[in-house]
Amino acid sequence: MRKLKLAPSVFGADLGNLREQLKILEENDVELLHVDVMDGHFVEKMAFGPDHIKMLKNMTSIPLDVHLMIEKPERKLDAIIDAGADIITIHQESTTRLYSCIEKIKSRGRKAGVVLSPATSEDTLKYVLDKIDMILLMTINPGEDGPGFHPELVEKMRNVHRFIGDRPIDLEVDGGIDNTNIQVCREAGVNVFVSGGYVFKGDIAEKIRSLRENA
């Protein structure tokens, strides 16, 4: 089984205490920091542009896992890469130029991934599997809060895990992940877990321990 990685989402952090909270993540050996970039078009919310990514890069040594929820991501890739993103994931639904986006990211020495919204079929991954480093499956609609984790997507996780085979691709899930559903995802082959609200509400170190224990 591929190595477990936790990717707390900075969107769930208390921005007033960000430095302190990042320190706790570092002390607890969190593998990735998930950064949601939202443009107000692809999703209704707006969050975290290149300037914020640059700020985060200066504040922490945790690699930045940047999830682009923006229309036409090809227009912003250079700025996101220049800002210090280590992994960049792009929604299958957000561009007609997925190949050139992946090539751009890879040519600049960063890791590239593809994200599928809950209703997008895993079959759409077929022709990118040999080009990418990560697949991110949304377990809720991107940019939406409710109604939480959709358990019927576990079958999709299993299918994607099977597609990946022994390729060096991380399989990540995002949306409503907590200590009650992490195990079922892990058993379906997922190894990277985004968690926002769950990790940052309450005792962060304890939440991280609980995720690792339950995975």
For residue 147, cis peptide bond before it (omega within 30 degrees of 0): yes
Residue closer to Zn ion by CB (options 67, 207) is 67
* Nearest-approach distance from CB 138 to Zn ion, in angstroms: 8
Residue 142 is classified by DSSP as T
* Binder among 13, 25, 31, 36 for Zn ion (CB under 5 A): 36
* Nearest-approach distance from CB 142 to Zn ion, in angstroms: 7
Of 55, 124, 58, residue with least CA distance to 90: 124
Is residue 57 a contact point for Zn ion (CB under 5 A)?
no
14 is annotated as an active-site residue: no
Catalytic residue among 39, 133, 170, 174: 174
Q: How far is CA 148 from CA 53, 78, 79, in A?
A: 26, 33, 32
Is residue 174 a contact point for Zn ion (CB under 5 A)?
yes
Strand order in the sheet with 134-138: 5-8, 192-195, 170-174, 134-138, 111-116, 87-91, 64-69, 33-39, 46-47
Interaction with Zn ion in 77-116: which residues (CB under 5 A)?
none
36 is annotated as an active-site residue: yes
Residue 140, Cα to own-chain centre: how many angstroms? Answer: 13
Instruction: Return d(Cα 25, Cα 162) in angstroms, integer.
Output: 31
Residue closer to Zn ion by CB (options 144, 206) is 144
* Nearest-approach distance from CB 64 to Zn ion, in angstroms: 12
* Binder among 57, 67, 104, 161 for Zn ion (CB under 5 A): 67
Residue closer to Zn ion by CB (options 67, 161) is 67
Q: So which residues are the catalytic ones?
A: 36, 174
